């Protein structure tokens, strides 16, 4: 392999490591986009545990800056017994990745999905808003 | 601003308050609120206490501290008091706190807890919908005086939902709003005449209703999952997870919204249906229940479509 190729590979590896460190438990790498996150949904099943305090706090802080940050418990439906329209995109995204997770959207577009655990920190949860 | 129970000063006159006479949860009705009866009343919404919500006793005080610091108590998701004076509506006033706290917690906007006599600016910016107590009570007790027990109001609410109050923090376009109480009410709760109940509907429907299809609106404010609280441990764990719990004791039904640790003792704060916060020093009463999830709208700003 030429020296240039090694350098390119090394830079690529460094880049990927940076992405991994910054975004922590991401399973779906963020979509590279200029779209602004306007909705974050925490999708979970309460029979597997409640909303961790740090995630709850992060969502409240997201709401305070204008992002629509809500919980969607797996069995929740609207008055007609259907998955609420506002949660359909997040519900589908969460099925692909597994619950619990934070789903970031810009309109109907999924920007990122962060798989979470009880140990997810406030800072990691706030990445969903970026 | 969020509700921090550790910062609330407690006057001893606020602890273990017992009313002179029952205000809607008389002993002969309370006796009927067995675990089996309440769970049957929940119908399809009945759930066991979720095992994964268990918090070890050694960890509960720290969790309470975190709830104070981060604003995670159920009380932080309530933005109004109600006032039932001089009616017997207490079980429905307690119910509406549990339901509204659940719904607002799902939306995760911190409301900060109610302030007597005040409309909170945050309410109009949130998804808070104020529920009508008498929209359930009228069916539970068509005689109006005498009260209703937990199984009666839960059966009704879990079956067909609750109507919105005529007073709301913002205009949601409701078509079938009803007075919140036949009692005093206040700035955040409308007071109106007794609607009565006859057959399977209200005897006197509000003149502004277009027709009698009010169930089409009530279904949007319905418990989806409810749990009967079987003991003091489940009681504490649910409160620590941010769920409100309705309890009945000594003739009165009240909604507990958190736990306040004071030295070696615990106090259980509740938003009493007389525009005030009071505290109980006992851990648990029978007839206790919580709502784990409520229906969620397609759009928070248009909750009935």
Please write the tens of the pLDDT for every residue from B168-216: 999 999 999 999 999 999 999 999 999 999 999 999 999 999 999 999 9
- The verdict on A99 touching B (C-beta cutoff 8 Å) is no
Q: What is the band of A26 on the pLDDT scale with cuts at 50, 70, 90?
A: low
Give pLDDT, residue B285: 76
Sheet arrangement for strand A26-28: A26-28, A109-115, A101-106, A39-44, A68-73
Mean pLDDT in chain B? 96
- The verdict on A88 touching B (C-beta cutoff 8 Å) is no
Which tops the pLDDT comparison, A13 or B179?
Answer: B179
Give pLDDT, residue B211: 96
- The verdict on A63 touching B (C-beta cutoff 8 Å) is yes
Give pLDDT, residue A15: 53
As a whole number of angstroms, the distance between CA A71 and CA B281 comes to 32
Which tops the pLDDT comparison, A13 or B213?
Answer: B213
Phi, psi of B265 (to 5 degrees): -115, 160
Chain B residues whose CB is inside 8 A of the A72 CB are: 296
Please write the tens of the pLDDT for every residue from A32-42: 667 899 999 99
Q: What is the band of A19 on the pLDDT scale with cuts at 50, 70, 90?
A: very low
**Partner residue facing A77 (CB), from B221, B292, B295:** B295
Closest chain A residue to B293, measured at CA: A76
As a whole number of angstroms, the distance between CA B20 and CA B10 comes to 22
The secondary structure of chain A as a DSSP string is: --HHHHHHHHHHHHHHHHHHHHHTTEEEPPP---PPP-EEEEEE-GGG----HHHHHHHHHHHHTT-EEEEEETT---TTSS--GGGHHHHHHHHHH-SSEEEEEETTEEEEEEE--TT--HHHHHGGG-
Give mean pLDDT, residues A100-120: 96
Look at B219 and A80 and tell me if their CB atoms are within 8 Å: yes
Q: How far is A31 from chain B (nearest CA, A)?
A: 26
Chain A residues whose CB is inside 8 A of the B107 CB are: 63, 70-71
Chain B residues whose CB is inside 8 A of the A71 CB are: 105-108
**Partner residue facing B220 (CB), from A60, A79, A85:** A79
Q: Rounded to two decimals, what is the model's pTM?
A: 0.92
Look at A69 and B108 and tell me if their CB atoms are within 8 Å: yes
Give pLDDT, residue B271: 98
Give mean pLDDT, residues A80-109: 96
Give mean pLDDT, residues A96-124: 95
Give mean pLDDT, residues A90-105: 95
The secondary structure of B95-143 as a DSSP string is: HHHHHHHHHHHHHT-------TT---HHHHHS---PBPSHHHHHHH-TT
Look at A79 and B63 and tell me if their CB atoms are within 8 Å: no
Closest CA to A123 of A92, A99, A102, A109: A102
Give pLDDT, residue A10: 60
**Partner residue facing A76 (CB), from B105, B161, B296:** B296
Q: How far is A110 from chain B (nearest CA, A)?
A: 18
Residue A18 pLDDT exceeds 60 = no
Give pLDDT, residue B250: 86
Helix (H, G, I), strand (E, B) or coil at B251: coil
Give pLDDT, residue A20: 45
Give pLDDT, residue B16: 93
As a whole number of angstroms, the distance between CA B119 and CA B188 comes to 7
Question: β-pairing, B223-228 with B46-47?
Answer: parallel
Q: Positive or negative CA dihedral for B35, A52, B295, B89?
A: positive
As a whole number of angstroms, the distance between CA B66 and CA B73 comes to 10
Mutate to test the interface with A, among B59, B107, B108 (most CBs of A within 10 A): B108
Mutate to test the interface with A, among B164, B296, B299, B303 (most CBs of A within 10 A): B296
- The verdict on A69 touching B (C-beta cutoff 8 Å) is yes
Two tokens, residue B173: 């376009």
Q: How far is B51 from chain A (nearest CA, A)?
A: 7
Give pLDDT, residue A83: 97
Residue A23 pLDDT exceeds 60 = no
As a whole number of angstroms, the distance between CA B115 and CA B166 comes to 20
Closest chain B residue to A51, measured at CA: B241
Closest chain A residue to B53, measured at CA: A49
Two tokens, residue B47: 């759930």
Give pLDDT, residue B286: 74
**Burial of B25: CB neighbours in 10 Å, binned 0-12, 13-18, 19+:** buried
In this prediction, the residues of chain B whose per-residue pLDDT falls under 50 are none
Closest chain B residue to A59, measured at CA: B108
């Amino acid at each position: 392999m030429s020296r240039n190729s090694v350098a390119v590979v090394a830079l690529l590896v460094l880049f990927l490591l940076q992405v991994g460190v910054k975004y922590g438990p991401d399973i779906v790498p963020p979509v590279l986009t200029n779209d602004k996150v306007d909705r974050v949904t925490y999708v979970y099943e309460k029979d597997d545990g409640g909303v961790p305090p740090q995630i709850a706090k992060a969502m409240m802080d997201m709401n305070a800056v204008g992002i629509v940050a809500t919980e969607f418990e797996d069995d929740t439906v609207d008055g007609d017994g259907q998955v609420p329209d506002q949660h359909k995109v997040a519900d589908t995204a969460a099925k692909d990745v597994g619950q619990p997770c934070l789903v970031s959207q810009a309109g109907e577009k999924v920007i990122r999905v962060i798989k979470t655990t009880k140990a997810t920190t406030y800072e990691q949860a706030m990445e969903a808003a970026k | 601003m969020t509700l921090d129970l550790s910062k609330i000063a407690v006057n001893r006159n606020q602890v273990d308050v017992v009313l002179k006479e029952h205000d809607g949860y008389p002993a002969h009705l309370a006796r009927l609120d067995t675990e089996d009866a309440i769970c049957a009343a929940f119908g399809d919404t009945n759930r066991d206490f979720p095992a994964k919500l268990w918090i070890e006793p050694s960890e509960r005080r720290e969790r309470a501290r975190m709830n104070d610091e981060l604003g995670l108590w159920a009380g932080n998701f309530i933005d109004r008091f109600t006032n039932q004076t001089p009616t017997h509506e207490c079980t429905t006033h307690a119910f509406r706190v549990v339901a509204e706290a659940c719904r607002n917690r799902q939306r995760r906007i911190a409301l900060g807890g109610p302030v007597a006599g005040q409309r909170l600016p945050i309410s109009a910016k949130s998804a808070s919908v104020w529920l009508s107590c008498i929209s359930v009570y009228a069916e539970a007790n068509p005689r109006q005086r005498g009260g209703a027990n937990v199984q009666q109001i839960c059966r009704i609410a879990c079956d067909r939902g609750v109507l919105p109050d005529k007073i709301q923090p913002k205009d949601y376009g409701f078509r079938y709003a009803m007075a919140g109480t036949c009692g005093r009410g206040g700035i955040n709760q409308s007071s109106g005449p007794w609607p009565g109940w006859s057959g399977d509907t209200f005897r006197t429907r509000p003149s502004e209703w277009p027709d009698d299809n009010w169930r089409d609106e009530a279904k949007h404010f319905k418990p989806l999952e409810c749990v009967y609280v079987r003991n003091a441990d489940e009681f504490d764990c649910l409160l620590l997870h941010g769920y409100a719990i309705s309890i009945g004791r000594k003739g009165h039904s009240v909604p507990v919204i958190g736990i306040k640790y004071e030295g070696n003792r615990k106090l259980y704060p509740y938003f009493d249906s007389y525009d005030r916060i009071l505290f109980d020093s006992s851990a648990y009463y029978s007839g206790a229940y919580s709502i784990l999830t409520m229906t969620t709208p397609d759009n928070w700003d248009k909750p009935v479509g």
